[in-house]
C-alpha cells in the first residue's frame, strides 16, 4: 500500500512540475511589472506636456489650435486609468493605445510647427524640454518592447502543451499585446514625386 501511495505521489509530482502553474504566476507578475514601467513612461510624458505648452504659449502668434489639441489629447489620455487587471481586456488596451497615440500625434504636430518660430527654437528652456521629451519617447519604446516580450512569453506558455491544459483549468487566456491603430497606413510606402507641376 505504501509503495502504491508513494508511486501515486511521485506521478502527481512529475505531472505538476510540467504543468506550468508557477511559470504562469512568474510571467503574469513580469507582465504587470513591465506594464507598470510603460505607464510610468507615459506619465513622464504627460508630466512634460504642461511645461512644453506653457513655454510655447509665450511665443506671440503661435497657433493656439495646435496647443489646444495637445492639451486635449493629454487630458483624454490621462483620464483612462489602466490597471493590471485591464491588461487582459483587448478593448481596454485598444482604447488606451488610441489615446496615447493621439498624444504622440499632437506632440509631433506641435514640434513640427515650432520649427517656424526662431525665437522658440532659440529658447534654451524649450530646447531642454524637447530633449527630455525625445528621451521619454525612447524610454516609452523600450518599455513597450519589454512589455511585448513578457506578453509573448506568457502567451507561448498559455498555448503550448502541456501548460495549455493548466491555462484552461485556471482560465489563463492569452494577453493582448500592443497593436498599431493605422497598420494599413504604415505598411503603404509614401509616394515621392519630384516633378514640378
Residues 138/45, Cβ–Cβ less than 8 Å: no
**pLDDT tens, per residue, the chain with 197 residues:** 777 777 766 666 655 556 788 899 999 999 999 999 999 999 999 998 888 888 887 775 667 788 888 888 888 888 888 777 777 888 888 888 888 888 888 888 888 888 877 777 777 888 888 889 899 999 999 999 999 999 999 999 999 888 888 889 889 989 887 766 655 554 555 454 445 44
- Concatenating the DSSP letter of every residue in the chain gives -HHHHHHHHHHHHHHHHTS-HHHHHHHHHHHHHHHHHHHHHHHHHHHHHHHHHHHHHTSTT--HHHHHHHHHHHHHHHH----GGGGG-HHHHHHHHHHHHHHHHHHHHHHHHHTT-HHHHH-HHHHHHHHHHHHHHHHHHHHHHHHHHHHHHHHHHHHSTTHHHHHHHHT-PPPP----TTHHHHHSPPP------
> Can you give the pTM of this predicted structure?
0.74
CB-CB contact of 16 with 166 (8 Å): no
pLDDT on residue 192:
43
Per-residue model confidence (pLDDT) at position 140: 92
Find out whether 52 and 194 touch, Cβ atoms under 8 Å.
no
pLDDT at 162: 86
Amino acid at each position: 500500500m505504501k509503495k502504491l501511495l508513494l508511486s501515486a505521489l511521485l506521478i502527481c509530482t512529475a505531472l505538476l512540475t510540467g504543468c506550468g502553474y508557477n511559470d504562469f504566476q512568474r510571467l503574469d507578475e513580469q507582465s504587470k511589472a513591465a506594464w507598470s514601467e510603460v505607464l510610468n513612461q507615459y506619465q513622464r510624458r504627460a508630466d512634460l506636456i504642461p511645461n512644453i505648452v506653457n513655454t510655447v504659449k509665450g511665443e506671440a502668434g503661435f497657433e493656439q489650435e495646435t496647443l489646444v489639441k495637445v492639451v486635449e489629447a493629454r487630458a483624454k489620455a490621462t483620464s483612462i486609468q489602466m490597471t493590471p487587471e485591464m491588461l487582459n481586456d483587448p478593448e481596454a488596451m485598444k482604447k488606451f493605445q488610441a489615446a496615447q497615440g493621439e498624444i504622440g500625434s499632437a506632440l509631433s504636430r506641435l514640434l513640427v510647427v515650432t520649427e517656424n518660430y526662431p525665437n522658440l527654437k532659440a529658447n534654451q528652456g524649450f530646447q531642454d524640454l524637447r530633449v527630455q521629451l525625445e528621451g521619454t519617447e525612447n524610454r516609452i519604446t523600450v518599455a513597450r518592447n519589454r512589455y511585448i516580450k513578457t506578453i509573448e512569453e506568457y502567451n507561448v506558455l498559455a498555448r503550448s502543451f502541456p501548460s495549455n491544459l493548466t491555462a484552461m483549468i485556471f482560465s489563463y487566456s492569452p494577453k493582448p499585446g500592443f497593436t498599431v491603430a493605422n497598420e494599413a497606413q504604415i505598411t503603404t510606402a509614401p509616394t515621392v514625386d519630384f516633378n514640378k507641376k
